[in-house]
């Protein structure tokens, strides 16, 4: 049953002597028991009958002249059912007016009735709904953490330089036209049946990938090494039972492949010229190296800080009581699903079909997401509660400073970014972000480092620690 927000004047009239009782259930859910006196039921029923007597058309009677007894004899059960709907809707609206624990906005309350509505009897029903969780935050100051420790090495700087070198490379035709490791190839391929005929639904033309990357469903990187431009051959492969693409797992495939083009990357030299090509702010290769080292150190500091904060929040959540209503979890999962579909730039049914091909359902995906979703909700609720406890405030000057900082980081003018914030009504969101950052800084300042853990910079960068 949907509770309407826009009620008629008649619906808003008070029900006298409405009895109600609120009971707390598990996982931030409550049961509101409501009892409606028989006198109000009879009044609502009579009003409904009189209303229909004026409008209904029954053979043998003029419109508006149908006797109530005739209407009741013909439509009695339906009239009682509609009366029950009106009584439930009206009494829910009234009952919730002065109840402190109101339903979460995106949760639909569930109505449960044990008996049917009858004239001459009181009518009782239960309204079960989720409320915003009451969080009991555990200790959040003096949390013990382990701190990561790293050092940016020459090899790390070299790796970043090689990435920049690759990003500034150009792709040219390979003169000998022979496929080797790291060649960039354009191929046509199609599966063949047992009689050597092409299977049209498997055909793909002008597919481009770099040999050795594995970015092709059939994993033919090694099989095409040595082939020449315009060469065609049939590759036979047997895939293991646990192959990553389920549609090929345990299957033997004959794949006809034709190489359309063979190219290679031409890398620039790592020198002053490359540094100047990357940005006007670099005059020499040494300038570029110094900037890379500075940025890598800043990245390391940021990752170390984030890791400490993750430990702190996780421990606070473990020490807190955070009941999660089902509707809140379901809402987050559906939001995550919509974002997932949007990122893949496909319609929902296409994604569901893709999952089906992998032997999965939407529900399977939700079950995979559920642990991290629940943890994320608990963390967000705990942070929200601590913000209230600490009464962290954000001034207009702090908001202005943050806009200036973000504008500089994104190569924008302060005026341009401020206009975007105001037009997009983003000021409150920005204020919340600043408040959270002030809270995080406070938690970090109050944390106790009990030990150090050395990690390689690249492991830190890739999250392998």
- DSSP secondary structure of 402-416: HHHHHHHHTT--HHH
19-130: CATH, from 3.40.50.300, 3.90.1300.10, 3.30.460.20, 3.30.70.1050: 3.30.70.1050
Task: Return the domain boundaries, the chain.
Answer: 19-130, 170-266, 283-462
**Which pLDDT score is estimated for 119?**
93
Q: How far is CA 213 from CA 37, 160, 178, 221, in A?
A: 74, 19, 17, 8
The pTM score is 0.76
Task: Tell me the C-alpha distance between 108 and 106, whole Å.
Answer: 7
Helix/strand/coil percent split, the chain, to 5:
45, 20, 35
- pLDDT tens for the chain, 465 residues long, are 222 333 334 445 566 567 889 999 999 999 999 999 999 999 999 999 999 988 888 888 888 788 998 999 989 999 999 999 999 999 999 999 888 889 998 878 999 998 889 999 999 999 999 999 999 999 999 999 999 999 999 999 999 999 999 999 999 999 999 999 999 999 999 999 999 999 988 999 999 999 999 999 999 999 999 999 999 999 999 999 999 888 898 999 999 999 999 999 999 999 999 999 999 999 999 999 999 999 999 999 999 999 999 999 999 999 999 999 999 999 999 999 999 999 988 889 989 988 887 788 999 999 999 999 999 999 999 999 999 999 999 999 999 999 999 999 888 999 999 999 999 999 999 999 999 999 999 999 999 999 999 999 999 999 888
**Which pLDDT score is estimated for 17?**
62
Relative to beta strand 110-112, strand 123-130 is antiparallel
CATH class of 170-266: alpha beta
**Which pLDDT score is estimated for 223?**
96
Q: How far is CA 440 from CA 248, 350, 398, 443, 465, in A?
A: 48, 41, 16, 5, 22
Report residue 33: phi and psi, to 5°: -90, 125
Topology alike, domains 170-266 and 283-462: no
**Which pLDDT score is estimated for 18?**
76
Whole-number CA gyration radius for the chain: 34
Q: Does domain 283-462 have CATH number 1.10.3120.10?
A: yes
**Which pLDDT score is estimated for 357?**
78
**Which pLDDT score is estimated for 13?**
58
């Amino acid at each position: 049953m949907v509770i309407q927000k826009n009620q008629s004047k008649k619906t808003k009239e008070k029900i006298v002597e409405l009895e109600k009782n609120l009971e707390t259930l598990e996982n931030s859910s409550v049961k509101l028991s409501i009892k409606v006196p028989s006198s109000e039921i009879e009044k609502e029923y009579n009003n409904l009958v009189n209303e229909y007597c004026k409008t209904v058309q029954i053979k043998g009677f003029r419109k508006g002249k149908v006797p109530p007894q005739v209407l009741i004899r013909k439509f009695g059960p339906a009239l009682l059912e509609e009366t029950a709907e009106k009584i439930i809707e009206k009494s829910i609206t009234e009952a919730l007016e002065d109840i402190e624990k109101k339903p979460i906005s995106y949760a639909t309350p569930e109505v449960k009735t044990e008996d049917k509505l009858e004239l001459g009897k009181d009518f009782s029903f239960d309204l079960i709904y989720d409320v915003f969780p009451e969080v009991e935050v555990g200790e959040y100051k003096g949390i013990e953490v382990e701190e990561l420790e790293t050092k940016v090495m020459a090899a790390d700087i070299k790796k970043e330089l090689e990435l920049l070198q690759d990003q500034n490379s150009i792709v040219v035709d390979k003169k000998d036209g022979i496929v080797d490791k790291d060649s960039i190839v354009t191929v046509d391929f199609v599966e063949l049946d047992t009689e050597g005929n092409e299977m049209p639904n498997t055909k793909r033309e002008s597919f481009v990938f770099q040999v050795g990357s594995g970015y092709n469903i059939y994993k033919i990187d090694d099989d095409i090494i040595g082939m020449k431009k315009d060469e065609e051959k049939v590759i036979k492969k047997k895939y293991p039972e646990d192959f990553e693409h389920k549609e090929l797992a345990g299957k033997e495939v004959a794949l006809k492949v034709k190489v359309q083009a063979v190219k290679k990357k031409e890398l620039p030299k790592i020198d002053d010229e490359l540094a100047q090509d990357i940005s006007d702010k670099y005059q020499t290769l040494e300038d570029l190296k110094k900037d890379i080292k500075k940025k890598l150190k800043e990245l390391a500091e940021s990752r170390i800080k984030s890791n400490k904060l993750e430990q702190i929040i996780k421990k606070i959540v473990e020490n807190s009581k955070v009941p999660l209503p089902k509707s809140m979890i379901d809402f987050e999962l559906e939001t995550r699903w919509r974002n997932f579909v949007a990122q893949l730039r496909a319609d929902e049914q296409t994604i569901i079909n893709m999952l089906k091909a992998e032997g999965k359902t939407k529900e399977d995906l939700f079950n995979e997401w559920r642990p991290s979703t629940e943890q994320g909700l608990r963390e967000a609720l705990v942070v929200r509660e601590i913000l209230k406890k600490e009464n962290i405030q954000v001034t207009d000057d702090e908001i202005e400073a943050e806009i200036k900082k973000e504008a500089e980081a994104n190569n924008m003018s302060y005026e341009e970014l401020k206009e975007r914030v105001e037009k997009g009504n983003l000021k409150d969101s920005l204020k919340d972000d600043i408040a959270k950052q002030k809270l995080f800084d406070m938690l970090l300042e109050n944390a106790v480092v009990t030990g150090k853990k050395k990690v390689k910079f690249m492991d830190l960068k890739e999250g392998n620690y």
